[in-house]
Structure 1
Amino acid sequence: MNRKLVGIREAAEFLGVNPSTLRRWEQEGRLMPDERTAGGYRRYDLARLRPNQFRQQDGERKTVAYARVSSHDQKADLERQKQGLELYCAQQGWTFEVITDRGSGMNYHKKGLTKLLNDILADRVSRLVITHKDRLVRFGAELVFAICEAKHVEVVILNQGEDTPFEEDLAQDVLEIITVFSARLYGSRSRKNQKLLEGVKHAVEEASS
């Protein structure tokens, strides 16, 4: 019987994992290459690989609950999010980890979000639980969901309606955008633009106070 032997990248794609995961499985003795070339490259027989079998055996995939607020002043809201997420996950009988962030929904470099995305890409997450879609990022949450779908991560959103602190968070996000543009216009010849941004910033601060 002829076997179709493929390299580690094709085998990883077939199983829906990263090549690094196959290397780890080899170190753990869970999935060994069928052959190695003279140059030491791994070769796998597609006929014996079963994606669901290996995905279910991967005990390192976990449930992650993610909570975020825009500023340190919203500590109480962050605690409410955490409690809601912990209660829901516990009721489902899931073993879970909670990741929290303090920062604008326009900031894509927050420590917690970076850790979450790295864990998803490294096949360490099986389920993501959030209170609202906007808790991830203000714009572009669909991209994160697409990554989750590609990595076979279930996304659970507890509340599909409008987020409670929406206006306050949006004001923080708008202020961040204004701050960025103000920095870019600093020292430029357009004093009119600077004055306009200062006026908008003042209006947003007034509305959110």
Structure 2
Amino acid sequence: MKNGYQVKGLYKDIASGISFERRKEFFELLDLVIGGKVSKVIITYKDRLSRVGFDLFKYLFSKYHTEIIVMSELTDKKADQQEIFEEIISLLHAFSMRMYSSRRKKIKEALEDKEVNKDG
């Protein structure tokens, strides 16, 4: 029991907060929520659940009687401008990582093609 809550599970994914491709534990949690087995989901910050669509998940979870508690909102109230700024920075980071990954893949493919043409 921690801060009055009984913790029954800990879910964490190391993946993009925008893409859900590798969010295995997120989908496990979502299945439990849909199954009516979770009454509260406690997260440190909104973007830990998802970088985009937090309000959608909050609405969806509420339809299955699950409350999302954001700890940062309990401890420090941020100005709306600060929150929007942080969301924009978070999105920029995610998109820049995607662009970097795409660029790196293209360079790798070009180098592999060059090696094949050199050998052929």
More helix by share: 2
Is 2:8 the counterpart of 1:96?
A: yes
User: What residue is the counterpart of 2:20 in the other structure?
Assistant: 108
Partner of 1:196: none
Structure showing greater radius of gyration is 1
Listed one character per residue, the Cα deviations across residues 51-92 of structure 1 (whole Å, up to 9, x for unaligned) are: xxxxxxxxxxxxxxxxxxxxxxxxxxxxxxxxxxxxxx6121
What percent of counterpart residues are identical? 23
Q: Secondary structure at the match of 2:12?
A: strand
TM-score, normalised on structure 2?
0.63
Q: Is the 8 A contact 2:51 2:87 kept in 1?
A: no
Higher strand share: 1
The answer as to 2:47 corresponding to 1:134 is yes
C-alpha separation in 1, matches of 2:24 and 2:7: 22
Which whole-Å CA distance do the structure 2 matches of 1:159 and 1:127 have between them?
Answer: 16
Distance 1:174 1:127, change over 3 A: same
Residue 65 of structure 2 is aligned to residue 144 of structure 1: no
* Structure showing greater relative contact order (alpha-carbon pairs closer than 8 Å, 6 or more residues apart): 2
Aligned partners of 1:166 and 1:101: how far apart in 2?
Answer: 19
Specify the code of the residue in structure 2 equivalent to 1:94: Q
Equivalent residues of 1:104, 1:169 under 8 A apart: no
Q: Structure 1 residues 156 and 176, CA, compared in 2 at 3 Å: closer, same or farther? A: same
Number of matched residues? 93
CA distance in 2 between partners of 1:115 and 1:171 (Å): 28
Partner of 1:175: 96
Following TM superposition, the consecutive aligned residue runs of length 4 or more in structure 1 with deviations greater than 3 angstroms are: 165-172, 179-182
Deviation at 1:131, TM superposition (A): 0.5
Q: Which digits, 9 at most, give the CA deviation of each residue in 1:24-52, with x for residues without a partner? A: xxxxxxxxxxxxxxxxxxxxxxxxxxxxx
Q: What runs of 5+ residues in structure 1 fail to find an aligned partner?
A: 1-88, 187-209
Give the TM-score of the pair, scaled to structure 1. Answer: 0.38
Within a 5 Å distance, the mapping from 1:3-18 to structure 2 comes to none
The structural deviation recorded for 1:180 is 7.8
